[in-house]
Structure formats: C-alpha cells, structure tokens
Amino acid sequence: MRSTIAVILLSLGLISCQNLQSRSNTVSNPPARVDTAARVQPASGKISPQGHIASYADTVDRAAPAVVTVRSQRRIKAPQQFPFFDDPFLRRFFGRGGSNNDEPDQQSFNSPGAEQVESALGSGVIVRSDGHILTNHHVIDGAQQITVDLSDRRSFRAKLIGSDAPSDLAVLKIDANNLPVLSPGDSDKVRVGDVCLAIGNPLGIGETVTSGIISAKGRQTDLSDGSFEDFLQTDASINRGNSGGALINTSGELIGINSQILSPSGGNIGIGFAIPSNMAKNVMDQLIAKGKVERGQLGVSVQYINSDLASSLALKEVRGVLVNNVTSGGPADRAGVKSGDVILAMNGTPVNDVNELRNRVAATAPGTDVTLQIQRNNATQDLHVKLGSFNPKGNSAVDNSNRGAGGTPEKLGVSLEPLTPALASQLGATRGTQGLVVQSVDPAGAAADAGIQPGDIIEQINRQPVRSVDDVRSALGKSGSRPALILISRKGQTIFLPVRVK
C-alpha cells in the first residue's frame, strides 16, 4: 500500500497556476481582449427553447472586465555556471560574437554579479471600485515591481497592500476609480455539481473564459505555505497564468480565486483548485484594514478517526477528531483539554474533519471564547476555550497530524528497548517523553499493519503509560475484543494508532 501511494505521489505534481520565466529584459504587455463594462450585477445564462442554457455570454460580459492581468518582476543574481571564465586568458577567447573582447557576454555566461529579471504572470480580481485587487500571494511573492493590465488596455503600477502566504492571497492597489467590481458570493452555498466559469490569462495569451462544474469541496493539497486550505475543486480548464483569477457561478458572483492545478505534465487535466470566496473575503478585509491576518489558535494537534480508532475509543460511530497532543500552557491546555479526548463539536457545530476544524479556528479572532464538546472516558462534556493568537513561525492553529492507520512485544510484532536520554535526543523526541523505543518491526505483525515503524516511541497502550514489557502485557490485556489504542511519538509528533493484536 505504501509503495503504491509513493508511486502516485511521484507521478503527480501540484502546480501553482502562474506563468513564470527568467530573462534579462522586459516583455511588452499584450493587449487584453475584453471590452470594459459597468459594475458587475448578477446575471444568468440565456435559456434555449428546449430549456437548456445556451450561452453564458451575458454573465461573462458583466464579469470579465473585473478580472485583470498581474505582472510581477524581481531582479536576481545570475548563478555562476562557468567559473573558469574569470580567467583573463580564457575570457579573451569567449567574448561577444567570438571576438577577443576581454568583457564576457553576461547573457551567455551569467557572470558573477550579473542580474537577471525574473517575471511572473498571473491574474487578479478587482474587489473594490477604488482599485483594490485580490490575487495570489505566489504571483507577487518577492516582487520589486508589479503591473496590472486592465481589460480596457490601461496599465498601472500596483502597490502591495498586504500578502498572506498561509492562505496564498494578496491585495494590490492601483490609482484608479470607478472600476468594474466582482462582488464575492457565498462559497458555503456552493454545491458539488454546480456550473462554474474560470476567468484569467492562461499562459499569457490574453483573457480567457472556461467552463466546468464544482467537482469537490474542502480539498487540501498541502502546497500553500501554511496549509490553511479549503479548496473548491473544479474541472474548468485552469493553466499557468490563471493564478489569482476569478471562479464565478452562473449568476456572475465570485465564488473562488483560482490558485493551483494537479497535473503530471504542467498542463490542465481537469483538476484545478480555487480558494473559496468566504475565506478570501476574510483575508482580504484584514489585509486592507490592518495589512496582516490575525488567526485564532487552539493549541492542539488532532488526527482523523477511522473505524478501528472508533472501536478502540468505544465510539458508537465514526465521528469527531482525536486529540493526540496538547500544547503545554496553550489555550486548550488551560481549558482542560487532554490527549486522547475526542472533539465532537465546536460552538454546537459537529466536527468530523481535521482541516475543517483548523480553518474554523483560524477564521475566529484571537481572544474569542469557543465551546468544545468532547468525549472522554465514554462521557461527553463541554469545555470553554479562549483562543490564542496563531504564530506563523510557531504551532498551527490546529496541527494536522499524520493520517496513519491505522499482549506482549511478540504479539505486537516488535522488539522494544527502554528510552534513554541519548536515544530521545537521537530520535528528536520532545522534552519529557517517556516510553519504549521500537527497535525492529515484524513485516507480518500487527504493529506493521498499523503503521508502527522502527524508531517510534510507544508512550501509552490503551491510555496506560508503558515503561516496561510488563506494562505492555498489562495494557494489552485491557483491549478485550477491540483494537489496542497505542500512542506513539515519532520525530517529536504524537499520534494514536489502533492495533489489532494477532
């Protein structure tokens, strides 16, 4: 199974849909191909006599003028590919045009200290008539100059108002007024199967419109910096250069900002991802108001619950997310949340997805009081947590741990040794970690089936700390007919694994 997953991951590539190139001179701006229009108002496609939608032209006419082309440039030092050209004797044979000029051709030889201009091409959406534009962070990341081309052929230098790498969003401002605007729709109301249109400038050929449907919601690709991801997936054709462009519904409302594609070749294969408009609006409003984004933090790491884990936890159904670690002194710790708790709901809304919980916490302002419904020892209770502030350089709002599988050592199919300070340091264990170190794993054993690996530290079995083989025997005896619930530490991260002892 692991080898199959590895092959799949190697064969597919996640690509930010921007067009990137390095060169030593600038490129002229190709003319946009859509006439300007007034402020966008919702509009529906034309209906044929048979009752089918025959055209979305009216919708596009109103929406397209609010989509722009974004060009960014930054100067970088050219790598020194041929250091022997620094030798004056050799340089005289490799001057420009084959002459004996002592000065090397910097474009050909990338001399030390020479600069190249790296250019990125993407798209953007006008969100306010005074010139505020929403685009992707990766389109303008590190840019020293940003240019925006409007559909009426005007070009403006743009100012960066704010950028947020965790969500891959940025806000620009140009000196213009009375611009056409795309107002955000409610992306929470988008349904799988809804028709959508993608508008942008793919591959620099000019503004283009493609159509498709919403293929899935709540997708996570782990490509963005902070992985605050809740993508809408679509089969509307998206390619490099579409980054930051609009994904709209048939009423002309903005429901997403196109961001990434999944492709083995770099071209569109019908798997594209857009940042939902509700998330984009929250980030945009904060960037415009404060120049930065503030996010709530719970201070726990959690993992998905599968049927084996549900059985180990005595859950009647597969629901909730399992807390496998609580940050010492963090908001959840102060509220009494413990490792092994199952979070069932937040503020009365059920929680069944790790990514969903993380995004909901992140979208809540720091200092907000939230109520978590948890299950502990077969009983439910409510805990009140005052959220902390997310630190991009520290822990995530809610960590997304490994989605792993998921008695005596011989029954587990492992060999164990005590955890010493030297071993703890070598294995990257956090301070205070105690348990038994897995020396080897029988490939045909129960532990291997569950995903336990050499170097893992077994901290608990069935919520009982284990420090010796006798502890392992005693703890495994409590499993009964259920899988044993084993807490392991791997490279400083903890995770629960259900193990069906053979």
pLDDT tens digits in sequence order for the chain, 502 residues long: 444 444 444 444 555 666 655 443 333 333 333 332 334 444 455 555 555 567 899 999 999 999 999 999 887 655 544 444 444 443 434 344 443 333 333 344 445 555 677 788 899 999 999 999 999 999 999 888 999 999 999 999 999 999 998 889 999 999 999 999 998 899 999 999 999 999 998 888 888 999 999 999 988 775 544 457 789 999 998 888 889 999 999 999 999 999 988 877 777 788 899 999 999 999 999 999 999 899 999 988 888 888 888 888 888 888 899 998 888 888 999 999 998 899 999 999 999 888 889 888 988 999 999 999 999 988 899 999 999 988 765 444 555 443 332 245 667 888 888 888 878 888 888 888 888 999 888 887 888 888 899 999 999 998 889 888 778 888 887 777 788 899 999 988 889 998 887 6
**pLDDT for the residue numbered 404:** 33
Domain containing residue 125: CATH number: 2.40.10.120
> Is there a domain that residue 77 lies in?
no
> In which domain, by residue range, is 360 found?
296-400
How far is it, in rounded angstroms, from Cα 387 to Cα 371? 10
> Is there a domain that residue 168 lies in?
yes
Please tell me which residue in 167, 215, 237, 243 is annotated as part of the active site.
Answer: 243
Q: What is the largest CA-CA distance in the chain?
A: 86
> Is there a domain that residue 441 lies in?
yes
Say if residue 370 is in the same domain as residue 426: no
DSSP SS3 for 55:
strand
Annotated active-site residue 183? The verdict is no
Please tell me which residue in 123, 137, 138, 149 is annotated as part of the active site.
Answer: 138
> Is there a domain that residue 273 lies in?
yes
R_g over Cα of the chain: 27
Dihedral sign computed on CA atoms, order 316, 385, 335, 328:
positive
Question: Distance between alpha carbon 412 and the CA centroid of its chain, in Å?
Answer: 36
Say if residue 39 is in the same domain as residue 184: yes
Question: Distance between alpha carbon 123 and the CA centroid of its chain, in Å?
Answer: 19
Domain containing residue 468: CATH number: 2.30.42.10
Annotated active-site residue 168? The verdict is yes
Which of 88, 87, 80, 89 has the alpha carbon at shortest distance from 109? 80
| Beta carbons within 8 Å of 218's beta carbon, 6+ residues apart | 230, 231, 353, 355, 356
Say if residue 280 is in the same domain as residue 131: yes
> Is there a domain that residue 4 lies in?
no
Question: Cα separations (Å) of 296 from 304, 346, 385, 457?
Answer: 21, 13, 11, 31
- Give 348's DSSP letter: T
Say if residue 276 is in the same domain as residue 301: no
Please tell me which residue in 149, 168, 308, 399 is annotated as part of the active site.
Answer: 168
How far is it, in rounded angstroms, from Cα 337 to Cα 433? 19
Annotated active-site residue 243? The verdict is yes
Provide the residue type at 244 as one letter: G
Q: CA angle at residue 409 from 407 to 411, to 5 degrees?
A: 50
Say if residue 332 is in the same domain as residue 479: no
> Is there a domain that residue 88 lies in?
no
Say if residue 285 is in the same domain as residue 300: no
How many domains, in total, are found in the chain?
Answer: 3
CA atoms within 13 A on the CB side of 177: 0
Which of 433, 438, 437, 461 has the alpha carbon at shortest distance from 448? 438
